[in-house]
Amino acid sequence: MGRLRGKSAIITGAASGMGAEEARVFAAEGARVTIADVDDGAGERLAKEIGARFHHLDVTDAAGWEALVTSAENAYGTVDVLVNNAGIVVWGGVTDLTEVDLRRVLDVNTIGVFLGMRAVAPAMERAGGGSIINIGSTSGLVGGPKALGYSASKWAVRGMTKAAALDLAPKNIRVNAVHPGLIRTPMSGAAADRTSGTPPLGRIGTPAEVAAVVVHLASDDSGYTTGADHVVDGGRTAGWT
Ligand SMILES: NC(=O)c1ccc[n+]([C@@H]2O[C@H](COP(=O)([O-])OP(=O)(O)OC[C@H]3O[C@@H](n4cnc5c(N)ncnc54)[C@H](O)[C@@H]3O)[C@@H](O)[C@H]2O)c1
């Protein structure tokens, strides 16, 4: 406990699923949390429950990001951690994914992550450094059937993480990616139906198991780690079984 004491952390998509679990664990570890989501009802309920702030944000809205960072700095003094967790899944393969759906999933999962990193970097520099954690997916390590747009969006998250880590290292801002496999959340209800086989560890993962890795990357325990991929998938992408 207390590994994030005094840190001001923004977590996007924290009204549900893994982001909500991360918000709970961050608060328990002493962080001052800003929950940023389009789902005002669930976001405000969780904020009240854990003593956090809720701020309405659509991650595709650049001006919204600027307002979020300003409000977090005004409330907590600094922005030390950003978890770019908000994401959507859109199913479709090379012949049946619509252009509209491809642009939408890239807008939320990829452009949203870029806008977030861009918005927090000056605030983190003012704070003397920071940690950005981008939530990718094992769909950013391998391909998936009928997941062309989702895969493209998550491979881009992985590439941007490494490029941004190089750009921001001189400012003492670390940037890492976390790639969950199949994790039990509202989103994965649909994914589970499309995924065949069982991971080597024999079960679907839990949000708490992803949150544990995210907390480590947010904390000073990971002070020499940047630009790295962290896979939390029960061994699914380790190789053939
Ligand atoms: N669940 C899985 O198995 C799995 C596996 C790998 C990666 N992921 C990734 O983990 C992240 C969280 O997934 P989850 O399963 O917890 O999903 P979820 O659907 O439970 O939660 C996603 C949250 O993001 C919010 N959101 C969606 N669009 C938004 C936008 N434009 N702006 C702000 N908020 C928005 C939603 O309101 C929701 O609260 C996503 O990036 C997802 O791609 C999930």
For the question of whether the overall pTM of this predicted structure is more than 0.85, the answer is yes
Contact 224, 172 (CB under 8 A): no
Indicate the DSSP class of residue 129.
Answer: -
Write the pLDDT tens digit of every residue in 32-42: 999 999 999 99
Residues near 206 by beta carbon (within 8 Å), at least 6 away in sequence: 183, 184
- What confidence score (pLDDT) does residue 196 get? 62
Q: What is the pLDDT of residues 113-170, one digit of tens each?
A: 999 999 999 999 999 999 999 999 999 999 999 999 999 999 999 999 999 999 999 9
pLDDT in tens, 16-53: 999 999 999 999 999 999 999 999 999 999 999 999 99
Is a pLDDT exceeding 90 seen at residue 189?
no
For the chain, give the mean pLDDT.
Answer: 96
Residue 17 Cα to ligand 1 middle (Å) = 7
Phi, psi (deg, nearest 5) at residue 199? -60, 155
Residue having the nearest C-alpha atom to atom 43 of ligand 1: 87
Q: How far is the CA of 52 from the centre of ligand 1 (A)?
A: 19
DSSP-derived secondary structure letter, 146: T
CA of 142: how far to CAs of 149, 184, 204, in Å? 13, 20, 18
Q: What are the backbone angles phi and psi of residue 231, rounded to the nearest 5°?
A: -95, 130
Which whole-number Å values give the CA distances from 45 to 41, 42, 48, 50, in the listed order?
6, 5, 5, 9
Atom of ligand 1 nearest to the CA of 15: 39
CA 188 to ligand 1 centroid distance, Å: 9
38 lines ligand 1 (CB under 6 A): yes
| Cβ of 19 less than 6 Å from ligand 1 | yes
In short, whether 18's Cβ falls inside 6 Å of ligand 1 is yes
The single-letter code of the amino acid at 94 is V
C-alpha count within 13 angstroms, C-beta hemisphere, residue 195: 19
Rg (CA), the chain: 17
User: Mutual orientation of helices 112-127 and 148-168 as an angle, nearest 10°?
Assistant: 20
Q: What domains does the chain contain, in order, with CATH numbers?
A: 8-232 (3.40.50.720)
